[in-house]
Structure 1
Amino acid sequence: MSLDKVMNAESVAIIGASKNETKRGFQAIRTLLDGNYEGIIYPVNPKEKSILGLKCYSRVSAIEDPVDLALITTPAPTIPAVLEDCGKKEVSGAVIIAGGFGEMGSEGKRLEEEIVRVARENHIRIIGPNTSGMMNLRDQMNLVGLREVPRGDIALLSQSGNMALTIMTEAKLKSLKGFSYYVGVGNEADIRFHEYLEFFREDKVTHAILMYVEGMREGRKFLQEAHKTSLKKPIILLKSGRSSTGKRSAGSHTGALAGMSVVAKTAFQRSGIIVVENSDELFPVAETLSSLPPIRNNKIAILADGGGHATIAADVLTDLGVQIPELSEKTRERLRELLPRSAAVINPIDVAGGTDSDPTVFADCADIILKDPEVGGLLIVGLFGGYGIRFAESLSLMEEDAAHRMGKMVRKRKKPIVFHSLYTSAKPHALHLLRYYGIPVYDSLDIACKCVSALAERGTYLHRYHFKTNFTFHWRAKAKHEGNQIIRSARKEGRSALLEHEAKKLLHLHGAPASKDRLARTPDEAVSIAKRMKRNVVLKIVSPDILHKSDAKGVRLNLGTEDEIRAAFDEIIENAKAFRPDADIRGILVAPMARKGLEVIVGTKYDDQFGPVIMYGLGGIMVEVIKDISTRVLPISPVFAKTMIGETKSAPILEGIRGEAPYDKRTLKSVLLMCSELIESYPDIQEMDLNPVIVHEQGVSIVDARIILKPEGKQH
């Protein structure tokens, strides 16, 4: 169902309306009246005849005219009956303020499921429950109660009312920007984050989407909608719950999944979302991205009136991955003509007192710098805005002139300028003019740098966008008949995992370089198979009841002679029976001893929020200790497979160290892509573990493979 009648309601019923000024049912009506809400307000309370001059109704179904939206302020146990009554009036949406639902345990969860069931039966969309409310600032539909919230072009989604209040207060005090909508998402029981993105993507008033997220119910759908939305509008997100304590706190508030895993962060960034780590960065980054063009080439120039700020800015931006290029000789020559001999005209540029008597020199320098083709944007740091305060009042007019010129310059050059100023608290008019032109000004140098890096990150994403990164699976696109047979056979036996030789056969069907193992049921068969392999072999127990072979002492390595093979065969069988007397032993797997190389691990699992994900890193016995891994939400493209390999700490080893030849990264990349294809082809697979995968100078060997199936009936 479209959210238009919910988000742009032309009539609102306040259920639980009250004459008590401390009650939400009174505050909502007063705020709507004071804000000149353009729609119709219907107070609902069977005990009152009128509230604040408005006729009061006993129930929603008694209202004569259509009702688009209901604000429900009554306690949680009353909500199902209230929604039933709203259904009789064909109300499109309900904002449920009350807590006491999924965030409060099993009883609350049952009540939440009940209100969702009732709402869906009556075609009502729910915001919340456990929400602070919602606002449509364009139509002055304020269902939160906050006063003097600035209007603008930023949509705010938050699972914390206090965080929303903080962000709105910051906008009011420090910016000329404001909000198109605010939604307190609450428990996300019905309307999900991805549905809000879809709505805001098409909303003409909204130019950026700012999000504070504690938990998310449908992560993959969110990624898919974020991918589409971020191509049109920037999305800025702060995800709380990174620590174990934070997860508990988030869970107690929203009742939703929490935790900022590596999987989540890389997935968000891959979908074009700008992820911030600190709460004080959230609004500034949104303000910047909604006001300025992105940096197209990840290259920034720094203009300063002091060496200290310039050096710090250069360090911070470099740490954030933004390049600070050399300026062209033509640019440097023009700056030399303008600035004192002591000025530094490399990048960063230090005016060395060249602006003390004439701050318009900032605009002259900015014009020269932005004309340089190597420069994608400009960060100006230092005293601008304070020259009239520090030196002479007459300089204020010059600063204002420079602000006008630079504001027009951004529009003309389509390159951003971001300001850091020590004088923001003094509120000089020059800084107000910069903000009027959409140039943000910050008193924190670190935040200014973060905003610059966000502009560069967005520019890079838009420039490198590729349609294969939309998080969409084409299930069974390359499934093999034999592969389906292997899985069906395991299902028929009631097994939740493939046996190792079955897993490797499945891998072989998709071109994977898995070792060519054979199943032996007697010592004689094992000897015969080993002879055909013409090298030393490995013996492994094969049993659906023994998933971890090493725990059962079910593996023997580097066996060469017939006697060694026969003895190892009998020993492994005895060990398995001692470990699990009732084990169903299918035989012994005979595998060729792998050549030496670098051991890595490749695996997939099913993430609760985002679905199938893939992991790559240093493998063997070191995987649990070093934990040098890279993860991505599946499916992946060749570009992302290459990136995963390259971003691990162990990546330099693949290039060859101390005179060793480099390892075969090309084939390793193909293994990652094969895993992506395999998961896309067989939705039955819950988890896959290839460890170790041995990378050689030429080629790769998958030595061990484990594939676990999803519970029956949960393949999708």
Structure 2
Amino acid sequence: MGLEKVMRPGSVAVVGASKSETKRGYQSIRTLLEGKYEGWIFPINPKEDYILGLRCHKSISEIEQPVDVALICTPAATVPKILEECGQKGVGGAVILAGGFRETGQSGRKLEEEIVEVARRHNIRLIGPNTSGMLNLVDSLNLVGLRDVPKGEIALLSQSGNMALSLITEAKLKSRKGFSYYVGVGNEADIRFHEYLEYFRSDPSTRAILMYVEGMRDGRSFLQQAYLTSQEKPIILLKSGRSTTGKKSAGSHTGALAGMSEVAKGAFERAGITVIDNSDELFPVAETLSSAPPIRNNQVAILADGGGHATIAADILTDHGIKLPELEEKTKERLRQILPAAASVVNPVDVAGGTDADPSLFADCAKIILQDANVGGLLLVGLFGGYGIRFAESLALKEEDAAHQMGKMVTKRHKPIVIHSLYNSERPHSLELCRYYNLPVYDSLDVACKCIAVLAEYGNYLKSYHAKTNFVFNWGAKAKPEGRAILAKAQAEGRNSLLEHEAKRLFQLHGAPVKPGRLAASEDEAVQAAREIDGPVVMKIVSPDILHKSDAGGVKLSLAGETDIRNAHAQILQNAKAFNSDADIRGVLVEPMIQEEGVEIIIGTKIDEQFGPVIMYGLGGIMVEILKDVAFRVLPISRLTARTMIEETLSAPILKGVRGTPPYDIKVLVNLLLMVSDIVEAYPDIEEMDINPVILHHKGASLADARIILKSGDAG
């Protein structure tokens, strides 16, 4: 069922209505009345006759008219019965405020499962539980009880009522922007984050979606929907729970598990989401992306009335990956004609006192700069807005004229202007005019730089989204018949892992550089297998009960000659039995010893709690444990993503060749990453894979060791 009835109800029943001003059952009725909500309001309280002039009903079943949504303000234990009554009445949605569900432990989890079962049986959509409520400012529907919420075009989704309050207060005090909706998502017992995204994607009153997230119940569906939504409307997200302590706090607060921050951040960005790390930047970034056009070429010019702020801004933008382009010669010449000789007309442009007598000159400079083909957006830093305060009141009119001009030129050029002003807290009329024209204004230089940087980030995404993955798997489509047989054999034997030679054969079927080996059940077979291999060999124990072969003394390297082979075979078996006397030993794998030098690489996959299959890449061998120089991505990946994973690691320069050594075969490495992505998609029964190490050579690669863990039971 869709969300229309629960998000835009024509009638509301307040279950647990109260005469106490501190209770949500009172506050919600008050704000519905004060906001002039045009739908029916039905207070439910068997002990009262009237609340705020509205007749009370003893129960929902006594209401004669249809009810679209029930706001349930009663304790957790009462909710199942109330939902049953809602179902009998035909109520389409419920907002459940109470905590005491999944977030509290096993008993709460059972209670939450019970209310979900009741809701689904009666086709009731649930917001929450454990929510601060819902606001629909389009229809003056206020089920939060918070007064004076500014109306605007930003939809807010939050798993924290205090974070929502903070953002609403910031908008009220510092901005002309406001909210179309607010939803306290709570435990996501029924309606999930991705469903809200789908709703707001098509909502004409919403231009941007602002999110505070602690954990997600269905991260994969969220990424799929975010990929679609972000092409039309920007999504801004702050995710907490990155630290170990933060994860524990998030789990206890929302009942949702916080995933690995490395996985989450990368996945969000690939879906086109603007990820924010600093809570102070959250609303300003949403305000900017909801009002200003994106920058299409990642190039920004700085216009300043002082060198200090200009230099700092240049450093910050460079740290954000923004390019400060060389201005065209004709641009420089036009600036020279209107600015004093001391002015700097390179980027950053410093007016050097040229605006002291006439701050409207800022608009003239901005017009010239925005006409430059190299410039995608303009950051104005310094005193603008304060000339009428700092120097002479008469200059305020000239600043206001400049604000009018800059606002009109952004509309004409579709290139944004973001303003940093030392006088923003004074709220001069010139800066209010800038906000009227959707020019973002901030008193923090760092925040102003972040805001223009995200306009470039979003513009970059819109240019390249066609090369991004949509996070959708075509399960089983790329499977090989022999590959299916390998997995089926292991499952038929009750194993939850493939033996090494089985795993390598599976990789070989999909094009991996695997040198053929042979499973030997006896010393004689090991000797014969070694004779068929040109050069020294490596021997490894093969047992479903011994996954970490080296720990068990089950690996012998660089063996040549019959005596070495026989001795190694005996020693490997002895070590394996000492390690695990009950181990099911299938034999010893004899393979060619990799002699060509190279760099050890690790490629692995796992199932993330929120996002499903993910892939990891980095330096392999013991280095992965020491350096932890790895990159994560949610699968499937594209060729572009595979290259990006390699390039973002600190070890990337090693692969390109250092001190005269030739580069390593990065093309083969990219193909290996894509192959692993294909294998995960081909065989849904795979839980984890670990190729460690892959020896990457200057030409080609060798797969030295591999491990595949299967899902238990009927998973997949």
How far does the alpha carbon of each residue in 1:601-646 deviate from its partner, in whole angstroms, 9 at most, with x for none?
A: 0111111100000010000111100101011000001111111111
Name the structure 2 match of 1:118.
Answer: 118
Query: 1:468 offset after TM fit, Å?
Result: 5.1
Which whole-Å CA distance do the structure 1 matches of 2:63 and 2:442 have between them? 50
Does the 8 A contact of 2:68 with 2:91 survive in 1? yes
Is 1:389 matched up with 2:392?
Answer: no
Question: Match for 1:618: what amino acid?
Answer: L
Name the structure 2 match of 1:549.
Answer: 549
Name the structure 1 match of 2:503.
Answer: 503
**Which secondary structure does the structure 1 equivalent of 2:362 belong to?**
helix
**Which secondary structure does the structure 2 equivalent of 1:683 belong to?**
coil
Name the structure 1 match of 2:329.
Answer: 329
Does the 8 A contact of 1:504 with 1:515 survive in 2? no
Is 1:70 matched up with 2:76?
Answer: no
Describe how 1:681-696 pairs up with structure 2 within 5 A.
681-696=682-697
Does the 8 A contact of 1:243 with 1:259 survive in 2? no
Query: 1:563 offset after TM fit, Å?
Result: 1.1
Name the structure 2 match of 1:616.
Answer: 617
Name the structure 2 match of 1:661.
Answer: 662
Which whole-Å CA distance do the structure 2 matches of 1:467 and 1:309 have between them? 37
Does the 8 A contact of 1:214 with 1:259 survive in 2? no
Name the structure 2 match of 1:642.
Answer: 643
Q: Which moved more, 1:399-408 or 1:259-268?
A: 259-268
Describe how 1:166-181 pairs up with structure 2 within 5 A.
166-181=166-181
Name the structure 2 match of 1:475.
Answer: 475
Which whole-Å CA distance do the structure 2 matches of 1:323 and 1:622 have between them? 34
What TM-score do you get using the length of structure 1 for normalisation? 0.99
Describe how 1:298-317 pairs up with structure 2 within 5 A.
298-317=298-317
Does the 8 A contact of 2:259 with 2:609 survive in 1? no
Query: 1:526 offset after TM fit, Å?
Result: 1.5
- In structure 1, list runs of 5 or more residues that go unmatched: none
Name the structure 2 match of 1:420.
Answer: 420
Which whole-Å CA distance do the structure 1 matches of 2:713 and 2:77 have between them? 36
Aligned residues: 715
Name the structure 1 match of 2:601.
Answer: 600
Does the 8 A contact of 1:518 with 1:591 survive in 2? yes
Query: 1:131 offset after TM fit, Å?
Result: 0.5
Question: Match for 2:656: what amino acid?
Answer: E
Which whole-Å CA distance do the structure 2 matches of 1:483 and 1:259 have between them? 31
Name the structure 2 match of 1:27.
Answer: 27
Question: Match for 1:657: what amino acid?
Answer: V
**Which secondary structure does the structure 2 equivalent of 1:200 belong to?**
helix
Which whole-Å CA distance do the structure 1 matches of 2:216 and 2:152 have between them? 27
How far does the alpha carbon of each residue in 1:139-179 deviate from its partner, in whole angstroms, 9 at most, with x for none?
A: 11000011110100000000111110110011011110010
Question: Match for 2:629: what amino acid?
Answer: D
Does the 8 A contact of 2:476 with 2:684 survive in 1? yes
How far does the alpha carbon of each residue in 1:468-525 deviate from its partner, in whole angstroms, 9 at most, with x for none?
A: 5100000011101110110010001100000000000101111111231211112222
- In structure 2, list runs of 5 or more residues that go unmatched: none
Is 1:210 matched up with 2:210?
Answer: yes
Does the 8 A contact of 2:467 with 2:640 survive in 1? no
Name the structure 2 match of 1:679.
Answer: 680
Name the structure 2 match of 1:40.
Answer: 40
**Which secondary structure does the structure 2 equivalent of 1:301 belong to?**
strand
Name the structure 1 match of 2:486.
Answer: 486
Name the structure 1 match of 2:3.
Answer: 3
Q: Which moved more, 1:465-474 or 1:614-623?
A: 465-474
Query: 1:467 offset after TM fit, Å?
Result: 5.8
Is 1:250 matched up with 2:250?
Answer: yes
How far does the alpha carbon of each residue in 1:219-262 deviate from its partner, in whole angstroms, 9 at most, with x for none?
A: 00000000000000000000011111111221221111125510
How far does the alpha carbon of each residue in 1:252-276 deviate from its partner, in whole angstroms, 9 at most, with x for none?
A: 2111112551000000000000000
Which whole-Å CA distance do the structure 1 matches of 2:252 and 2:465 have between them? 38
Question: Match for 1:371: what amino acid?
Answer: Q
Describe how 1:440-459 pairs up with structure 2 within 5 A.
440-459=440-459
Is 1:372 matched up with 2:363?
Answer: no
Which whole-Å CA distance do the structure 2 matches of 1:231 and 1:266 have between them? 17
Name the structure 1 match of 2:514.
Answer: 514
Question: Match for 2:715: what amino acid?
Answer: K
Query: 1:530 offset after TM fit, Å?
Result: 1.6
**Which secondary structure does the structure 2 equivalent of 1:620 belong to?**
coil
Which whole-Å CA distance do the structure 1 matches of 2:665 and 2:251 have between them? 45
**In percent, how many aligned pairs have the same letter?**
69
Which whole-Å CA distance do the structure 1 matches of 2:560 and 2:259 have between them? 50
Which whole-Å CA distance do the structure 2 matches of 1:571 and 1:591 have between them? 17
Which whole-Å CA distance do the structure 2 matches of 1:184 and 1:660 have between them? 57
Which whole-Å CA distance do the structure 2 matches of 1:678 and 1:452 have between them? 40
Which whole-Å CA distance do the structure 1 matches of 2:637 and 2:250 have between them? 30
Q: Which moved more, 1:654-663 or 1:694-703?
A: 654-663
How far does the alpha carbon of each residue in 1:325-357 deviate from its partner, in whole angstroms, 9 at most, with x for none?
A: 110111111111111111111101100001000
Name the structure 1 match of 2:228.
Answer: 228
CA RMSD, Structure 1 to Structure 2 (Å): 0.8
Q: Label 1:261 to 1:320 Cα distance change in 2 as closer, same or farther (>3 A).
A: same
Which whole-Å CA distance do the structure 2 matches of 1:440 and 1:94 have between them? 37
Which whole-Å CA distance do the structure 1 matches of 2:564 and 2:467 have between them? 55
Which whole-Å CA distance do the structure 2 matches of 1:242 and 1:255 have between them? 16
**Which secondary structure does the structure 1 equivalent of 2:344 belong to?**
coil
Question: Match for 2:319: what amino acid?
Answer: D
Does the 8 A contact of 2:605 with 2:616 survive in 1? yes
Q: Label 1:272 to 1:17 Cα distance change in 2 as closer, same or farther (>3 A).
A: same
How far does the alpha carbon of each residue in 1:569-597 deviate from its partner, in whole angstroms, 9 at most, with x for none?
A: 11101111111111111110011111211
Which whole-Å CA distance do the structure 2 matches of 1:305 and 1:551 have between them? 66
How far does the alpha carbon of each residue in 1:420-451 deviate from its partner, in whole angstroms, 9 at most, with x for none?
A: 00001111000000000000100000000110
Q: Which moved more, 1:598-607 or 1:241-250?
A: 241-250
Which whole-Å CA distance do the structure 2 matches of 1:170 and 1:260 have between them? 30
Describe how 1:253-264 pairs up with structure 2 within 5 A.
253-259=253-259, 261-264=261-264
Name the structure 2 match of 1:633.
Answer: 634
Does the 8 A contact of 1:6 with 1:93 survive in 2? yes
**Which secondary structure does the structure 2 equivalent of 1:211 belong to?**
strand
Question: Match for 1:558: what amino acid?
Answer: S
How far does the alpha carbon of each residue in 1:80-112 deviate from its partner, in whole angstroms, 9 at most, with x for none?
A: 000000001111110001111111111111111
Which whole-Å CA distance do the structure 2 matches of 1:312 and 1:202 have between them? 40
Name the structure 2 match of 1:362.
Answer: 362
Q: Label 1:591 to 1:471 Cα distance change in 2 as closer, same or farther (>3 A).
A: same
Question: Match for 1:677: what amino acid?
Answer: D
Q: Which moved more, 1:669-678 or 1:525-534?
A: 525-534
What TM-score do you get using the length of structure 2 for normalisation? 0.99
Is 1:138 matched up with 2:141?
Answer: no
Which whole-Å CA distance do the structure 2 matches of 1:259 and 1:379 have between them? 36
Which whole-Å CA distance do the structure 2 matches of 1:470 and 1:31 have between them? 41
Which whole-Å CA distance do the structure 1 matches of 2:599 and 2:258 have between them? 36
**Which secondary structure does the structure 1 equivalent of 2:476 belong to?**
coil
How far does the alpha carbon of each residue in 1:521-560 deviate from its partner, in whole angstroms, 9 at most, with x for none?
A: 1222222222221111100000111111011100000111
Question: Match for 2:429: what amino acid?
Answer: H
Name segments (4+ residues, structure 1) moved above 4 Å.
none
Is 1:460 matched up with 2:464?
Answer: no
Is 1:189 matched up with 2:189?
Answer: yes
Which whole-Å CA distance do the structure 2 matches of 1:452 and 1:468 have between them? 23
Does the 8 A contact of 1:240 with 1:259 survive in 2? no
Q: Which moved more, 1:510-519 or 1:175-184?
A: 510-519
